[in-house]
A and B are shown apart, each in its own frame.
Chain A
Amino acid sequence: MNIGKDLVAASATPLILSILSEGESYGYAIIKRVAELSGGELQWTDGMLYPVLHRLERNGFVKTVWGKSESARQRKYYRLTDSGAEELARHRRQWQVVGNALRRTMFKSK
């Protein structure tokens, strides 16, 4: 299934914030988690994740922590901040509204 560009872009921030609310993570792991959560349906161009992460960092929603990878290379981990958690809560309320509305029409059981 091909998910439209706008929807992918709109869902990226809440998805990343939610994944990070499960614990700190790094780029590749986030991508894998997204694929896992969507059953492989939600495909990002991998590199595009990073500018989004950097924007979240600039807005103070996540912060970076340097750690080591399995092969002992430097790796940048991202961790949700308190204001990131608030942002996630805002997203949750918004998506709830959208989801409820869709459920009542699009997904209405006949």
Chain B
Amino acid sequence: MSQEIENPKEGTRISLEEGIAEWRSYVRRRQAIHGVDADELEDHLRSQATTLVEAGLAEDEAFLIAVKRIGTLDELSREYAREHSERLWKRLVLGPDDRGDDAGKGAGTLKEVLVVVALTLAAAVAIKVPELFGARMQMDQDLPMFYVRNMSLFVLPLLAIFFAWKRSLAPAGRLWLAAPFVVAAVSINLMPFAPRAHTEILAAMHLFIALWLAVGYAYAAGRWRDHDPRMNYVRFSGEWFIYYALIALGGGVLMGLTAFIFNAIGLKPERLLVTWMLPCGAVGAVIIAAWLVEAKQSVIENMAPVLTLIFTPLFTLLLLAFLGAMAWTRSGIAVGREVLIGFDLLLVVVAGLVLYAISARDPQKAPGPFDALQLLLVVCALLVDAIALWAIAARISEFGFSPNKVAALGENLILLVNLGWSAVLYARFLTGRAAFAKLERWQTAYIPVYAIWACAVVLIFPPLFGFK
């Protein structure tokens, strides 16, 4: 403790106030010791130091003795943890955050809760407003195309608003943020899509990706060019996805139980469930999940890297088994309609595994067996994909260039390039010829490629393929 307190650079004596401020900052890092406890301990420290000064000691001597008497932080926090074991569970606090006296817009402040509730309600209302103009959701019919087209526009602007508010985005930044949403809303609704147009569904799907990355601009408080905010947004996206999936699971249970108990008394709530609860819940959960990720950021271990750790070996095993089986049976890939999309998904999963493994790795650490495993995974995925592409290329003339195939092929190539270069960087890192940071930077530098491709599918594909 004492070596932390003494000013090592100048060797000068420190004042009582400086010492206490510094000591407090160490105390505040302990999970088991809350703000009020720190106040209490500080009061003790001051009383002790004052007594010692009155007895004739210099301020810094008095401070050091007082700190020593109060006990080392390790011991202290162990005792506090024993008494308050629940604190180590690091629960989400929904009331005012009693650990944060520096949390202006911290998660859990009443204001933030109100903002989140308001945005969630706004999303739930927004998805039902088109009903007033005749775009009705029906239980036994497909969703009207209006909803499909605008799916991301119901909620992502609200998510962007949340982050713009939370990060206090400058007015100029807000305009920049609004631009992609306006462009998206105007262009996708003005395009003269043919009925059941493939390009329309493709555009709707890619619009989500493009606008999700636009939200990243607000998340990064405008610093979207830097490596770190990008990586943080990647982490955020992974956690958001996991939270969303969990909320969706809970929502499913809720809907199932609602249907069950109302059926038991002879009522049929299905229509209400499918046309109200499902859509409103689905958009509202986007905001709630984002807020939860923000709130628990420092509280719980990130889940995405943990899942990565579990699934990297399993996927590697799967791909090795697949390659082995192909070599053994000498059978090629039967090229059907869904093959390309299936292999795209495979690459997405592998790219995700690589990305989240990278996002959670300490770049200073020396190469380890897990890095070698990652390389093996990437190489296997590249091999499998190369075989698949070979099979498809041989028969591409038979398929013709439908929008779906071009989109799938483009995505495949984009991921192939990413993984290919990642493999090279991994190999260099493992042989000690490049720093791990190179690999990190490659991943974040590549993000705009996804954005550009998504924009291309949204804006260029429809006219290119005659809005069919």
Residues of A within 8 A of B (CB): 26-29, 31, 45-48, 50-52, 54-55, 58, 69, 71, 73-76
Verify A50–B48 contact, CB threshold 8 A: no
Is B71 within 8 A of A48, CB to CB? yes
Pull 20 A–B residue pairs with CB atoms less than 8 Å apart, ordered by A. A27-B43, A28-B47, A29-B47, A45-B69, A45-B71, A46-B44, A46-B48, A47-B41, A47-B79, A50-B37, A51-B82, A51-B84, A54-B37, A55-B83, A69-B47, A73-B43, A74-B43, A75-B43, A76-B40, A76-B43
List the B residue with the shortest CB-CB distance to A73.
Answer: B43
Q: How far is the CB of A79 from chain B (nearest CB, A)?
A: 15
CA distance A31 to B51 in the complex (A): 13
Cβ contact within 8 Å between B43 and A48? no
Tell me which of A27, A71, A74 has the highest count of chain B C-beta atoms within 10 A of its own C-beta.
Answer: A27
- Of A45, A51, A52, A69, which contacts B43 at CB under 8 A? A69
A50 to B30, CA, bound (A): 15
Whether B75 is near chain A, meaning CB under 8 Å from some CB there, is: yes
Contact A51 B44 (CB under 8 A): no
Q: Quick one: which of A29, A48, A55, A69 has the most chain B CB within 10 A? A: A48
> From residue A88, how far is it (CB to closest CB) to chain B in Å?
20
Contact present for B71 and A47 (CB under 8 Å): yes
Partner among B46, B69, B84 whose Cβ is within 8 Å of the Cβ of A54: B84
Given contacts A45-B70, A50-B37, contact A28 B44 (CB under 8 A): yes
B76 within 8 A of A: yes
Cβ distance B279 to chain A, nearest Cβ, rounded Å: 46
User: What is the chain A residue whose CB lies nearest that of B27?
Assistant: A47
Residues of B within 8 A of A55 (CB): 83
Does B18 reach chain A (CB closer than 8 Å)? no
Whether B39 is near chain A, meaning CB under 8 Å from some CB there, is yes
Interface mask (B52-83 → A, CB under 8 Å = 1, otherwise 0):
00000000000000000111000110011011
Report whether B80 and A51 are in contact in the complex, using a CB–CB cutoff of 8 Å: yes
CA gap between A102 and B341 in the complex, in Å: 84
Q: Which residues on A sit within 8 Å (CB–CB) of B46?
A: 69, 71, 73
Q: How far is the CA of A71 from the CA of B40 in the complex (A)?
A: 14
Report the separation of the CA atoms of residues A38 and B138 in the bound assembly, to the nearest whole angstrom.
81
Contact with A along B22-54 (1 / 0, CB 8 A): 000000000000001101110110111000000
The distance in angstroms between the C-alpha atoms of A45 and B73, with both chains bound, is: 11
Give chain A nearest CB distance to B82 CB in angstroms: 7
Query: CA separation between A58 and B83, bound complex, in Å?
Result: 9
CB neighbours of B36 from chain A (8 A): 76
Contact (Cβ within 8 A) B70 A51: no
Given the complex, which residues of B lie within 8 Å of A76, measured CB to CB? 36, 39-40, 43
Contact of A48 with B84 in the complex, beta carbons under 8 Å? no
Q: Are A50 and B43 closer than 8 Å at their CB atoms? A: no
Q: Which of A46, A50, A51, A75 contacts B69 (CB 8 A)?
A: A46
- Which one of A27, A50, A54 has the highest number of Cβ atoms from chain B below 10 Å of its Cβ? A50
In the complex formed, the residue of B with least CB distance to A54 is: B83
Known: A27-B44, A48-B71. 6 other contacts (CB 8 A): A27-B40, A46-B71, A47-B44, A47-B79, A54-B83, A55-B83
Does B39 contact A51, Cβ atoms closer than 8 Å? no
Chain A residues whose CB sits within 8 angstroms of the CB of B71 once the complex forms: 45-48
Query: Closest residue of chain B to A27, judged by CB?
Result: B44
**With A47-B71, A48-B71, A51-B80 in contact, is A74–B41 under 8 Å at CB?**
no
Closest to A52 in B: B83
- Tell me the smallest distance from the CB of A90 to a CB of chain B, in Å: 21
Give A12 Cβ to nearest chain B Cβ, in Å.
12
Cα distance A19–B296 when bound, in Å?
42
Q: Is the CB of A50 within 8 A of B41?
A: yes
Q: Given the complex of chains A and B, what is the CA–CA distance between A40 and B75 in angstroms?
A: 22
Nearest chain A residue, comparing its CB with the CB of B80: A51
B27 CB, min distance to chain A CBs, angstroms: 10
Known contacts A51-B82, A51-B83, A55-B83: does B70 contact A46 (CB below 8 Å)?
A: yes
Inter-chain CA distance A9–B212, complex, in Å, is 57
| Residues of B contacting A26 in the complex (Cβ-Cβ under 8 angstroms) | 43
Cβ-closest chain A residue relative to B37: A50
Pick from B40, B80, B83, B84 the residue with the most CB of A within 10 Å.
B40
Cβ-defined contact, B40 with A48, below 8 A: no
A52 vs B84: C-alpha distance when bound (angstroms): 11
CA distance A17 to B84 in the complex (A): 21
Query: What per-residue 1/0 map shows which CB atoms of B177-200 lie under 8 Å from chain A?
Result: 000000000000000000000000
Nearest Cβ on chain B to A63's Cβ, whole angstroms:
15
A6 vs B75: C-alpha distance when bound (angstroms): 16
Docked Cα-Cα span, A73 to B50, in Å, equals 14
Nearest A residue to B47 via CB reads: A28
Give bound CA distance, A55 to B80, whole Å: 10
Which residues in B have their C-beta under 8 angstroms from that of A29?
Answer: 47
Q: List the A side residues contacting B80 at CB < 8 Å.
A: 50-51, 54
Task: Give B2 Cβ to nearest chain A Cβ, in Å.
Answer: 15
Q: How far is the CA of A89 from the CA of B80 in the complex (A)?
A: 27
Q: How far is the CB of A84 from chain B (nearest CB, A)?
A: 17
Asked if B48 and A48 make an inter-chain contact with CB atoms under 8 angstroms apart, the answer reads no
A48: chain B residues within 8 A (beta carbon): 71, 75-76, 79
